[in-house]
Structure 1
Amino acid sequence: MAAKEVIMAYVEALGKGDVPTAFSYFSEEVQWHQPGNNQFSGLKKGADEIGKMISSMMEVSKGTFALTPNGNLMGNGNLVAMPLRFSGTIDDRKMDMSGIDLFQVEAGKITEIWLFSEDQEAEDTFWGK
Protein backbone atom coordinates (compact mmCIF):
# COMPACT_ATOMS: atom_id res chain seq x y z
CA MET A 1 0.00 0.00 0.00
CA ALA A 2 1.42 3.41 -0.98
CA ALA A 3 1.99 6.03 1.72
CA LYS A 4 -1.00 8.18 0.67
CA GLU A 5 -3.27 5.11 0.61
CA VAL A 6 -2.22 4.21 4.17
CA ILE A 7 -3.07 7.72 5.39
CA MET A 8 -6.38 7.75 3.49
CA ALA A 9 -7.35 4.44 5.16
CA TYR A 10 -6.23 5.75 8.58
CA VAL A 11 -8.28 8.97 8.19
CA GLU A 12 -11.33 7.05 6.91
CA ALA A 13 -11.26 4.75 9.95
CA LEU A 14 -10.88 7.73 12.32
CA GLY A 15 -13.78 9.48 10.59
CA LYS A 16 -15.98 6.46 11.35
CA GLY A 17 -14.83 6.43 14.98
CA ASP A 18 -13.09 3.08 14.38
CA VAL A 19 -10.02 3.73 16.51
CA PRO A 20 -8.79 0.08 16.55
CA THR A 21 -8.68 0.00 12.73
CA ALA A 22 -7.09 3.46 12.57
CA PHE A 23 -4.43 2.47 15.10
CA SER A 24 -3.76 -0.77 13.19
CA TYR A 25 -1.95 1.45 10.66
CA PHE A 26 0.61 2.42 13.34
CA SER A 27 3.92 0.60 13.52
CA GLU A 28 4.75 -0.87 16.92
CA GLU A 29 7.38 1.85 17.39
CA VAL A 30 5.20 4.76 16.16
CA GLN A 31 6.19 8.18 17.49
CA TRP A 32 3.83 11.18 17.73
CA HIS A 33 5.32 14.67 18.11
CA GLN A 34 2.69 16.84 19.84
CA PRO A 35 3.87 20.46 19.57
CA GLY A 36 3.68 23.37 21.92
CA ASN A 37 3.84 23.97 25.63
CA ASN A 38 0.64 22.52 27.06
CA GLN A 39 -0.48 19.49 29.06
CA PHE A 40 -0.43 17.27 25.92
CA SER A 41 2.84 18.47 24.36
CA GLY A 42 5.80 16.20 23.85
CA LEU A 43 6.82 12.95 22.23
CA LYS A 44 4.39 10.04 22.57
CA LYS A 45 5.75 6.56 21.83
CA GLY A 46 3.50 3.70 20.83
CA ALA A 47 -0.22 3.39 20.25
CA ASP A 48 -0.97 3.15 23.99
CA GLU A 49 0.57 6.56 24.80
CA ILE A 50 -1.04 8.13 21.73
CA GLY A 51 -4.42 6.63 22.61
CA LYS A 52 -4.21 7.89 26.20
CA MET A 53 -3.38 11.41 24.97
CA ILE A 54 -6.29 11.49 22.51
CA SER A 55 -8.68 10.08 25.13
CA SER A 56 -7.56 12.78 27.58
CA MET A 57 -8.11 15.47 24.92
CA MET A 58 -11.64 14.19 24.38
CA GLU A 59 -12.27 14.06 28.14
CA VAL A 60 -10.98 17.60 28.80
CA SER A 61 -13.01 18.98 25.87
CA LYS A 62 -16.10 16.95 26.85
CA GLY A 63 -16.07 15.28 23.42
CA THR A 64 -15.99 18.54 21.45
CA PHE A 65 -12.44 18.15 20.09
CA ALA A 66 -12.66 17.39 16.36
CA LEU A 67 -10.29 17.07 13.42
CA THR A 68 -11.48 17.52 9.86
CA PRO A 69 -9.31 17.02 6.77
CA ASN A 70 -9.24 20.33 4.90
CA GLY A 71 -7.67 19.79 1.49
CA ASN A 72 -5.87 17.14 -0.52
CA LEU A 73 -3.25 14.84 0.91
CA MET A 74 0.20 15.74 -0.38
CA GLY A 75 2.84 13.08 -0.79
CA ASN A 76 6.61 13.13 -1.18
CA GLY A 77 8.03 9.62 -1.12
CA ASN A 78 7.22 8.09 2.26
CA LEU A 79 5.99 11.43 3.71
CA VAL A 80 2.36 12.54 3.55
CA ALA A 81 1.07 15.97 4.62
CA MET A 82 -2.58 16.37 5.54
CA PRO A 83 -4.06 19.87 5.86
CA LEU A 84 -6.82 19.97 8.47
CA ARG A 85 -8.97 22.06 10.77
CA PHE A 86 -9.26 21.28 14.42
CA SER A 87 -11.66 22.69 16.95
CA GLY A 88 -13.02 22.24 20.43
CA THR A 89 -14.45 23.91 23.50
CA ILE A 90 -13.29 23.84 27.12
CA ASP A 91 -15.52 25.87 29.41
CA ASP A 92 -15.35 29.42 27.99
CA ARG A 93 -12.32 28.71 25.75
CA LYS A 94 -12.86 27.89 22.08
CA MET A 95 -10.37 26.76 19.46
CA ASP A 96 -10.86 26.57 15.69
CA MET A 97 -7.78 26.69 13.49
CA SER A 98 -5.86 25.14 10.63
CA GLY A 99 -2.95 22.78 10.88
CA ILE A 100 -0.88 20.20 9.07
CA ASP A 101 -0.25 16.64 10.16
CA LEU A 102 2.87 15.16 8.59
CA PHE A 103 3.08 11.37 8.48
CA GLN A 104 6.02 9.11 7.74
CA VAL A 105 5.03 5.72 6.35
CA GLU A 106 7.31 2.70 6.04
CA ALA A 107 6.29 -0.78 4.88
CA GLY A 108 2.60 0.15 4.97
CA LYS A 109 2.68 1.43 8.57
CA ILE A 110 2.74 4.93 10.08
CA THR A 111 6.08 5.25 11.87
CA GLU A 112 6.11 8.91 12.85
CA ILE A 113 3.69 11.85 13.01
CA TRP A 114 4.48 15.55 13.41
CA LEU A 115 1.70 18.07 14.06
CA PHE A 116 1.80 21.75 13.13
CA SER A 117 -0.65 24.34 14.40
CA GLU A 118 -1.64 27.62 12.74
CA ASP A 119 -1.39 29.40 16.11
CA GLN A 120 0.53 27.33 18.64
CA GLU A 121 0.25 29.96 21.37
CA ALA A 122 -3.56 29.97 21.09
CA GLU A 123 -3.63 26.16 21.10
CA ASP A 124 -1.44 26.10 24.22
CA THR A 125 -3.82 28.51 25.94
CA PHE A 126 -6.78 26.36 24.91
CA TRP A 127 -5.34 23.09 26.32
CA GLY A 128 -3.70 24.67 29.37
CA LYS A 129 -0.75 23.38 31.35
Structure 2
Amino acid sequence: MTTPTPAAVAATYLEALKRGDIPTLMAQFADSVVWHQPGANRFSGAHEGVMGVGELLGGMMEASHGSFQLEVTGPMMVNGELVAIPVRFTGARADAAMDMDGIDLLTVRDGRIVEVRLFSADGASEDVFWGQA
Protein backbone atom coordinates (compact mmCIF):
# COMPACT_ATOMS: atom_id res chain seq x y z
CA MET A 1 0.00 0.00 0.00
CA THR A 2 1.35 3.40 -0.99
CA THR A 3 1.51 6.20 1.58
CA PRO A 4 -0.52 9.21 0.40
CA THR A 5 1.40 12.39 -0.34
CA PRO A 6 1.09 15.39 1.97
CA ALA A 7 -1.02 17.13 -0.71
CA ALA A 8 -3.38 14.14 -0.93
CA VAL A 9 -3.78 13.96 2.86
CA ALA A 10 -4.47 17.71 3.02
CA ALA A 11 -7.00 17.44 0.19
CA THR A 12 -8.82 14.59 1.95
CA TYR A 13 -8.81 16.59 5.20
CA LEU A 14 -10.22 19.70 3.50
CA GLU A 15 -12.89 17.78 1.58
CA ALA A 16 -14.01 16.00 4.77
CA LEU A 17 -14.15 19.35 6.58
CA LYS A 18 -16.24 20.84 3.79
CA ARG A 19 -18.69 17.90 3.88
CA GLY A 20 -18.81 17.78 7.67
CA ASP A 21 -17.50 14.20 7.53
CA ILE A 22 -16.00 14.06 11.01
CA PRO A 23 -14.83 10.40 10.93
CA THR A 24 -12.84 10.98 7.72
CA LEU A 25 -11.55 14.32 9.00
CA MET A 26 -10.30 12.82 12.27
CA ALA A 27 -8.79 9.81 10.46
CA GLN A 28 -6.31 12.17 8.77
CA PHE A 29 -4.63 12.91 12.11
CA ALA A 30 -1.83 10.87 13.63
CA ASP A 31 -2.64 9.57 17.11
CA SER A 32 0.01 11.94 18.50
CA VAL A 33 -1.06 15.02 16.50
CA VAL A 34 -0.39 18.43 18.06
CA TRP A 35 -2.69 21.33 17.11
CA HIS A 36 -1.36 24.82 17.93
CA GLN A 37 -4.27 27.24 18.31
CA PRO A 38 -3.04 30.86 18.23
CA GLY A 39 -4.03 33.80 20.36
CA ALA A 40 -4.96 34.51 23.94
CA ASN A 41 -8.41 32.97 24.19
CA ARG A 42 -10.00 29.93 25.79
CA PHE A 43 -8.96 27.69 22.88
CA SER A 44 -5.37 28.97 22.54
CA GLY A 45 -2.41 26.69 23.09
CA ALA A 46 -1.34 23.19 22.14
CA HIS A 47 -3.98 20.46 21.91
CA GLU A 48 -2.50 16.98 21.83
CA GLY A 49 -3.78 13.74 20.39
CA VAL A 50 -6.84 12.97 18.30
CA MET A 51 -9.07 13.25 21.36
CA GLY A 52 -7.64 16.67 22.27
CA VAL A 53 -8.16 17.97 18.73
CA GLY A 54 -11.69 16.55 18.67
CA GLU A 55 -12.50 18.30 21.93
CA LEU A 56 -11.07 21.57 20.57
CA LEU A 57 -13.09 21.44 17.36
CA GLY A 58 -16.25 20.45 19.21
CA GLY A 59 -15.75 23.31 21.67
CA MET A 60 -15.32 25.78 18.82
CA MET A 61 -18.53 24.61 17.17
CA GLU A 62 -20.36 24.91 20.49
CA ALA A 63 -18.94 28.39 21.24
CA SER A 64 -19.87 29.60 17.73
CA HIS A 65 -23.38 28.12 18.03
CA GLY A 66 -22.54 25.87 15.09
CA SER A 67 -21.72 28.79 12.81
CA PHE A 68 -17.94 28.36 12.50
CA GLN A 69 -16.96 27.79 8.87
CA LEU A 70 -13.68 27.55 7.02
CA GLU A 71 -13.30 28.16 3.29
CA VAL A 72 -10.17 27.52 1.24
CA THR A 73 -9.34 30.72 -0.65
CA GLY A 74 -6.38 29.70 -2.78
CA PRO A 75 -4.21 26.80 -3.87
CA MET A 76 -2.40 24.59 -1.38
CA MET A 77 1.33 25.19 -1.28
CA VAL A 78 3.47 22.14 -0.58
CA ASN A 79 7.07 22.11 0.59
CA GLY A 80 8.10 18.59 1.51
CA GLU A 81 5.98 17.51 4.46
CA LEU A 82 4.54 21.02 4.96
CA VAL A 83 1.25 22.09 3.39
CA ALA A 84 0.17 25.75 3.66
CA ILE A 85 -3.48 26.47 2.95
CA PRO A 86 -4.89 30.00 2.58
CA VAL A 87 -8.29 30.14 4.27
CA ARG A 88 -11.08 32.47 5.32
CA PHE A 89 -12.91 31.61 8.51
CA THR A 90 -16.14 32.97 9.87
CA GLY A 91 -18.43 32.59 12.82
CA ALA A 92 -21.35 34.49 14.28
CA ARG A 93 -23.56 34.46 17.31
CA ALA A 94 -25.82 37.08 18.91
CA ASP A 95 -23.02 38.96 20.72
CA ALA A 96 -20.02 38.58 18.37
CA ALA A 97 -18.86 37.80 14.85
CA MET A 98 -15.58 37.15 13.05
CA ASP A 99 -14.63 37.04 9.40
CA MET A 100 -10.94 36.93 8.54
CA ASP A 101 -8.18 35.44 6.47
CA GLY A 102 -5.66 32.97 7.75
CA ILE A 103 -3.17 30.29 6.87
CA ASP A 104 -3.43 26.70 8.06
CA LEU A 105 -0.04 24.97 8.06
CA LEU A 106 -0.17 21.19 8.21
CA THR A 107 2.79 18.91 8.76
CA VAL A 108 2.11 15.55 7.13
CA ARG A 109 4.31 12.57 7.87
CA ASP A 110 3.75 8.92 6.92
CA GLY A 111 0.32 9.68 5.49
CA ARG A 112 -1.09 11.46 8.57
CA ILE A 113 -1.25 15.03 9.86
CA VAL A 114 1.17 15.21 12.79
CA GLU A 115 1.02 18.95 13.47
CA VAL A 116 -1.30 21.87 12.74
CA ARG A 117 -0.29 25.52 13.11
CA LEU A 118 -2.81 28.27 12.43
CA PHE A 119 -2.24 31.90 11.56
CA SER A 120 -4.95 34.58 11.79
CA ALA A 121 -5.03 37.96 10.04
CA ASP A 122 -6.52 39.60 13.14
CA GLY A 123 -5.66 37.69 16.28
CA ALA A 124 -7.16 40.29 18.62
CA SER A 125 -10.56 40.03 16.92
CA GLU A 126 -10.37 36.26 16.99
CA ASP A 127 -9.64 36.39 20.73
CA VAL A 128 -12.70 38.57 21.27
CA PHE A 129 -14.88 36.14 19.35
CA TRP A 130 -13.71 33.03 21.19
CA GLY A 131 -13.55 34.78 24.57
CA GLN A 132 -11.60 33.92 27.67
CA ALA A 133 -11.85 30.65 29.56
Does residue 22 (structure 1) correspond to residue 25 (structure 2)? The answer is yes
| Residues 90 and 126 in structure 1, CA contact (< 8 A), matched pair in contact too | no
Which position in structure 2 is the counterpart of 1:3? 6
**TM-superposition CA deviations, 1:18-74 (whole Å, max 9, x none):** 111111111111000000000100100011111111111111111111111110000
Length, aligned pairs only: 129
Which position in structure 2 is the counterpart of 1:62? 65
The aligned amino acid for 1:93 is A
The aligned amino acid for 1:24 is A
Q: What is the root-mean-square deviation in Å for CA atoms of aligned residues?
A: 0.7
The aligned amino acid for 1:113 is V
Which position in structure 2 is the counterpart of 1:127? 130
Runs of at least 5 residues in structure 2 that lack an aligned partner in the other structure: none
Does residue 73 (structure 1) correspond to residue 76 (structure 2)? The answer is yes
Which position in structure 2 is the counterpart of 1:87? 90
With the length of structure 2 as denominator, give the TM-score of the two structures.
0.94
| Residues 28 and 46 in structure 1, CA contact (< 8 A), matched pair in contact too | yes
With the length of structure 1 as denominator, give the TM-score of the two structures.
0.97
The aligned amino acid for 1:106 is R
Q: Secondary structure at the match of 1:36?
A: coil
Q: In the TM superposition, what is the alpha-carbon distance from 1:110 to its structure 2 partner?
A: 0.4
Q: How far apart, CA to CA, are the structure 2 residues paired with 1:22 and 1:92?
A: 30
The aligned amino acid for 1:97 is M
Q: How far apart, CA to CA, are the structure 2 residues paired with 1:27 and 1:92?
A: 36
Runs of at least 5 residues in structure 1 that lack an aligned partner in the other structure: none
